């Protein structure tokens, strides 16, 4: 059987982290955690229920007074210590992430670095944060007081789990909220490291709590808990819709980072070599399990045949293999259920498009959730593989003739997360960037995000933004205080003339 080397110090049981302690579920239940190479259970994780969520919310409520009273600089010191503790575990973290999720080890290393940077960034943000004041001449001054919302409920997916958890943990803690995190059930391993990271950094007990478990059980209980006024969710559009509906009766504040089917638009005048490198990496890195993957490639007719052939050649040569091998470019898809789903799309794609590369497990890998990067050409806009998020190393390619048609095709799905535009005509690049319906656009550039910029999508890709000041706004309530500076002239209703 194909196996990946087990990282050292792999826990046999992954516990919840409630009130600063590792604890089992109240009812003692657990669930199997598989690695995606052997698809065999290698650990048990605590299976949280409504009781465990209630315990965690109580711990977070109890810690709120302490943590929210830290001034910004003191909170920033703890955030920087969290970043130090992440960096100190950088290697173990990357090995855990790669083993549990199937991400190639070299790409898992980047995720760990980015998570640490994110904590440092939010430490800087709150030290520099001011509150606004508005003066109306000599009559009145109004100023804003920012307060943390309370206990935040954070729900995260299995793709790049540790890094995506950091995207929510860092701004929630920076803002002074306490929190309960429900990590994805397919990839709980790296989240087990937060417990020692938080303890080492001196985060007060109960400020951050982690409850593992199944979405419909632990996740739903967190969504439904009346003392959790705010939910930050990253995951699929269907689950996002469900959570929005569930949280409507309590009018909770929600942020939704959802699915994508992002277009990469290539004009004939582009630097085609650079476009090819970026497109191949953008859709196949992270095993294609990337919300911002450019999974629809739209190519101007004049260069369509040539570009598509080159794309297919590159896909056929991508090195698929053991996630722990530093030469691996695409590892194993996260879970057998997800693998079946992706393989079903490949089957559908064989009827909807022209298969130019991949479409099957590589010959040298007899077990594990492996798929050779797959390219379908001549895909029509109503095809399912053009419309639906596959979330694996599969790309749909289609030609266009005019700029208008490129925009129309780019916008022809329910999603609107990211878009990539390749042209040497910068006026056209900007025109397209403004016309494409998406939260983020990269022109002649790669999917690199400055942490200060807003991240998120439109249409079925999300509600709200994460990143930078947007995150601090989300986790804070602003109150405006109006104060008279001089005599107040109020109309004297009912007074004698």
Q: Which residues have a catalytic role annotated?
A: 257, 291
Q: Crossing angle of helices 161-174/192-201, nearest 10°?
A: 30
Q: Does 166 bind ligand NAD (CB under 6 A)?
A: no
Name the helix (H) or strand (E) containing 151: strand 151-155
- Of 52, 257, 322, 352, the residue at the interface with ligand NAD (CB under 6 A) is 257
Residues 297-336, one symbol each (x = binds ligand NAD by CB under 6 A, - = not), give: ----------------------------------------
Q: Does 158 bind ligand NAD (CB under 6 A)?
A: yes
Residues 454-483, one symbol each (x = binds ligand NAD by CB under 6 A, - = not), give: ---x---xx---------------------
- Of 36, 259, 373, 416, the residue at the interface with ligand NAD (CB under 6 A) is 259
Q: What are phi and psi of 168, to 5 degrees?
A: -100, -40
Residue with tokens 């909770």: 252
Which residue lies nearer to ligand NAD by CB, 260 or 321? Answer: 260
Which residue lies nearer to ligand NAD by CB, 48 or 349? Answer: 48
Which residue lies nearer to ligand NAD by CB, 178 or 295? Answer: 295
Q: Does 428 bind ligand NAD (CB under 6 A)?
A: no
CA 194: distance to chain centroid?
17
Give CA–CA dist 77/80, Å, rounded: 5
CB atoms under 10 Å from CB of 77, counted, come to 15
Q: Which two tokens stand for residue 64?
A: 């709120």
Q: Which two tokens stand for residue 371?
A: 């798929």
Give CA–CA dist 17/192, Å, rounded: 8
Give CA–CA dist 6/363, Å, rounded: 24
Give CA–CA dist 328/287, Å, rounded: 10
The interface with ligand NAD within residues 115-154 (CB under 6 A) comprises none
Which residue lies nearer to ligand NAD by CB, 76 or 180? Answer: 180
Give CA–CA dist 437/413, Å, rounded: 10
Cβ 255 to ligand NAD shortest distance, Å: 10
- Of 33, 105, 155, 419, the residue at the interface with ligand NAD (CB under 6 A) is 155
Q: Does 98 bind ligand NAD (CB under 6 A)?
A: no
Give CA–CA dist 3/9, Å, rounded: 17
Which residue lies nearer to ligand NAD by CB, 184 or 398? Answer: 184
- CA dist 307 → 71, 276, 298, 375, 386 (Å): 55, 8, 10, 12, 18
Spatial CB neighbours of 285, under 8 Å, sequence gap ≥ 6:
107, 329, 330
Give CA–CA dist 145/240, Å, rounded: 31
Which residue lies nearer to ligand NAD by CB, 101 or 308? Answer: 101
Cβ 249 to ligand NAD shortest distance, Å: 15
Cβ 159 to ligand NAD shortest distance, Å: 5
Cβ 489 to ligand NAD shortest distance, Å: 51
- Of 33, 56, 275, 291, the residue at the interface with ligand NAD (CB under 6 A) is 291
Q: Which two tokens stand for residue 135?
A: 């003066």
Cβ 461 to ligand NAD shortest distance, Å: 6
- Of 304, 370, 391, 400, the residue at the interface with ligand NAD (CB under 6 A) is 391
Q: Does 258 bind ligand NAD (CB under 6 A)?
A: yes
Stretch of residues binding ligand NAD (CB under 6 A), selected from 3-11, 97-105, 158-166, 269-277: 158-166
The interface with ligand NAD within residues 178-217 (CB under 6 A) comprises 182, 184-185, 215-216
Which residue lies nearer to ligand NAD by CB, 185 or 300? Answer: 185
Q: Which two tokens stand for residue 226?
A: 């009346």
Which residue lies nearer to ligand NAD by CB, 192 or 234? Answer: 234
Residue (of 270, 267, 246, 93) closest to 165 by Cα position? 93
- Of 7, 104, 148, 157, the residue at the interface with ligand NAD (CB under 6 A) is 157
Cβ 385 to ligand NAD shortest distance, Å: 15
> Which strands form 374-377's sheet, in the order they lie side by side?
354-357, 374-377, 394-400, 296-300, 263-266, 418-422, 440-443
DSSP 461-494: GEES-BSHHHHHHHHEEEEEEEEE-S------TT
CB atoms under 10 Å from CB of 61, counted, come to 15
Cβ 153 to ligand NAD shortest distance, Å: 9
Q: Which two tokens stand for residue 89?
A: 């575990």
Q: Does 449 bind ligand NAD (CB under 6 A)?
A: no
Spatial CB neighbours of 236, under 8 Å, sequence gap ≥ 6:
157, 258, 259, 389
Residues 210-249, one symbol each (x = binds ligand NAD by CB under 6 A, - = not), give: -----xx--xx--x----------xxx--x--xx------
Interaction site with ligand NAD (CB under 6 A) = 155-159, 164, 182, 184-185, 215-216, 219-220, 223, 234-236, 239, 242-243, 257-260, 291, 389, 391, 417, 457, 461-462
């Amino acid at each position: 059987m194909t196996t990946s080397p087990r990282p050292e110090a792999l826990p046999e049981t992954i516990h919840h982290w409630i009130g600063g302690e590792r604890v089992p579920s109240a009812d003692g239940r657990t669930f199997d955690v598989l690695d995606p190479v052997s698809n065999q259970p290698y650990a048990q994780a605590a299976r949280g229920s409504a009781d465990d969520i209630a315990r965690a919310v109580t711990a977070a409520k109890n810690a709120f007074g302490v943590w929210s009273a830290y001034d910004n600089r003191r909170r920033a010191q703890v955030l920087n210590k969290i970043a130090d503790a992440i960096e100190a575990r950088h290697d173990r973290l990357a090995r855990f992430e790669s083993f549990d999720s199937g991400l190639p080890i070299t790409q898992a290393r980047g995720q760990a670095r980015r998570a640490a940077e994110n904590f440092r960034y939010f430490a800087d943000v709150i030290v520099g944060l001011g509150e606004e004041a508005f003066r109306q001449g000599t009559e009145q001054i109004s100023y804003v007081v920012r307060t943390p919302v309370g206990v935040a409920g954070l729900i995260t997916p299995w793709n790049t789990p540790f890094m995506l958890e950091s995207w929510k943990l860092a701004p929630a803690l920076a803002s002074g909220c306490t929190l309960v995190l429900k990590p994805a059930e397919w990839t709980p391993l790296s989240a087990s490291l937060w417990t020692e990271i938080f303890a080492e950094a001196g985060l007060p007990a109960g400020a951050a709590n982690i409850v593992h478990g199944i979405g419909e059980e632990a996740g739903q209980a967190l969504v439904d808990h009346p003392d959790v006024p705010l939910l930050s969710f990253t995951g699929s559009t269907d689950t996002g819709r469900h959570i929005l509906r569930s949280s409507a009766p309590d009018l909770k504040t929600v942020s939704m980072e959802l699915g994508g089917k992002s277009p990469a638009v290539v004009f004939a005048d582009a630097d085609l070599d650079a476009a090819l490198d970026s497109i191949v990496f953008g859709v196949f890195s992270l095993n294609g399990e990337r919300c911002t993957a450019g999974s629809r490639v739209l190519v101007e007719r004049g260069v369509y045949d040539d570009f598509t052939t080159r794309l297919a050649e590159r896909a056929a040569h991508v090195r698929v293999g053991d996630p722990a091998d530093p030469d691996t470019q695409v590892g194993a898809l996260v879970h057998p259920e997800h693998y079946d789903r992706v393989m079903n799309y490949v089957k559908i794609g064989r009827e909807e498009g022209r298969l130019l590369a991949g479409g099957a497990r590589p010959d040298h890998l007899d077990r594990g959730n492996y798929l050779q990067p797959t390219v379908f050409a001549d895909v029509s806009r109503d095809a399912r593989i053009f419309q639906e998020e596959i979330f694996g190393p599969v790309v749909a390619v289609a030609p266009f003739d005019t700029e208008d048609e490129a925009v129309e095709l780019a916008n022809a799905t329910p999603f609107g997360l990211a878009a990539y535009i390749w042209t040497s005509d910068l006026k056209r690049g900007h025109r397209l960037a403004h016309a494409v319906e998406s939260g983020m656009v990269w022109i002649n550039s790669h999917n690199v995000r400055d942490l200060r910029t807003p991240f998120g999508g439109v249409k079925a890709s999300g509600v709200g933004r994460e990143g930078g000041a947007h995150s601090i706004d989300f986790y804070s309530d602003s109150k405006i205080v109006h104060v008279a500076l001089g005599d107040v002239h109020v109309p004297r209703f009912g007074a004698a003339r």
